[in-house]
Structure formats: structure tokens, C-alpha cells
Amino acid sequence: MTSFAGFPDGRLANVRVPDLFFAEVLPHIDHLAELKVTLHLLWLLQQHPERPLGISEAELRRDGVLLAGLAACGPDPQVSLGDGLRRGLERGTLLQVHGTSGGSEQSWYVLNTERGRLVLERVRSGQLALPEVDLTAEEQPLPQKPTVFALYEQNIGPLQPIIAEELEEAQRSYPPEWIEDAFRIAARNNARQWRYVNSVLERWRRQGRDQVEPSDQRDPRRYLSGEYEEYRRS
């Protein structure tokens, strides 16, 4: 099992989920691929509200984040994706817009909402044309966050074995966003030492980051004096 360090403080983007999903849909979903595909589509559709036809199946089949998640559902994530889409359609959570685009049969998926049902009706009546689908696009890679070791080498210098254990402990103890921000503060304040970075992290852990610096008042200059001064001069 891959552990999760927890949601960082500050403002995070939210995904709206209809409350009926929790009362009338989720209790009946008994298939992991269906659940993952449905939630991923909820997320994608809200990222792209400008797309009236929703998300194309071609796009889903090269979505690195989705396919990585579906690897736990069976030996072939593409098969699991198809299974999850089929089950979502059978349950009535999803709607499928099907037609010819770019000389081949294509499908798009929307939620079974009033807007989704209207889109389906407009396509069937010819009021809404199907867009072109780029079938040559490559699979989208998983977004990669830099590790604490990469951040150390980028901001401080070559990694020394004596410090590696401390870096591993920090990576287990703090959210990735905290570590990135602490290194960024060190670089801006010309305090390129691990002791400085670690002191910032420890203070956030002791006092709570939003207590130290509210998300709308963050200023790296607050880490120039006091307990941080010795690290900047040494």
C-alpha cells in the first residue's frame, strides 16, 4: 500500500460531487474500476467545463493518472477502463455520446445530469456537431513531484551520504508541498543549507503552518532572522 502524507494546508482545488451520489449511487457500487472511473470523470469534467460533449474515450485511454489507478483492478488497465465505463453506463451514472469523428467511431462521456441529457439530445437531433478527436496523441505521463533528494541537489548541492538518512525521514514526515516550499524559501533567502530547510519544516510541524504564515500572507522574508539567522551566516 502506498501511504499518503496528508492534504497540505492552504487553498486546495475542490471537486463538487452531487450529494445523491453518496446516498443513491455509492452504496450500490461493488466494482472498484467503476468507482475509480466514475470519480475520475467527475474530476475531469469539472476541469473542462468548456467541453459540452464531455471527455472522449480516446482521451481516457491515454490518461496516465487514470490508467495507473486502474492497474489495481486487473492485469490490463485498458480492459478495466472499458469495464468501468460499461458499468457506469448500465448503472445510469454516465451517459455516452457516440458517433463518427475523424473517419472512425468515437465516444464521449458526460454525467447523467440535466445538462448531460440535453447534450445527448442535441447530438441526436443534429444541433450539436461532434468534435475532431486526436488519435495520434501519446499517453499522458503521470505528474511527477521532485523528491527531497532531487530538491536537495537542485537547491543546495551534491548529495552527501551523511545527510541522506535525514532527508528520508523528512520525506516520510512532511507533505511534499511543505518540503518544496521550504527549499524554495531557503533559495530565496540565500540560506542553502539543509539545517535551514529542516528548521522551517520543524517550525511548521510544531506550530501549524497556517499559524506561522496564513496562506494569504506568505512571505519568505519572515525566515531571515531569529532562529534562522545562524543558518544563513554559517
Do 50 and 110 share a domain, yes or no?
A: yes
Rounded alpha-carbon distances, angstroms, from residue 197 to 167, 185, 200: 11, 8, 5
Asked if residue 136 belongs to a domain, the reply is: no
The CA distance from 229 to 151, in Å, is 22
Classify residue 18 by its DSSP letter. -
192 or 21, which is more confident? 21
Our count of domains for the chain comes to: 2
158: containing domain: 148-233
Assigned C-alpha cell, 4? 499518503
Q: Is residue 11 part of a domain?
A: no
Domain final residue pick, 75, 108, 124: 124
Least trusted range by pLDDT, from 1-5, 120-124, 131-135, 160-164: 131-135
- Residue 234 banded pLDDT, cuts 50, 70, 90: very low
CA distance 154 to 139: 28
Taking every pair of Cα atoms in the chain, the longest distance, rounded to a whole number of angstroms, is 73
**Mean pLDDT within 33-49:** 93
Same domain, 25 and 119: yes
- Could you tell me where the beta strands, DSSP code E, fall in 25-66? 55-56
Per-residue confidence (pLDDT) for residue 199, from 0 to 100: 92
pLDDT at residue 17 is higher than 80: yes
* Residues 120 and 152 grouped into a single domain: no
pLDDT band, residue 116 (cuts 50/70/90): very high
Q: Is residue 26 scored above 90 in pLDDT?
A: yes
Task: Indicate whether 32 and 114 sit together in one domain.
Answer: yes
Q: Which CATH number goes with the domain that contains 54?
A: 1.10.10
**Are 39 and 85 in the same domain?**
yes
Query: Is 90 exceeded by the pLDDT of residue 5?
Result: no
* Angstrom distance (rounded) from CA 83 to CA 102: 25
Domain final position from 91, 124, 157: 124
Element (H, E) at 96: strand 94-101
Lowest average pLDDT, out of 127-131, 132-136, 165-169, 193-197, goes to 132-136
Question: Does residue 215 surpass a pLDDT of 50?
Answer: no
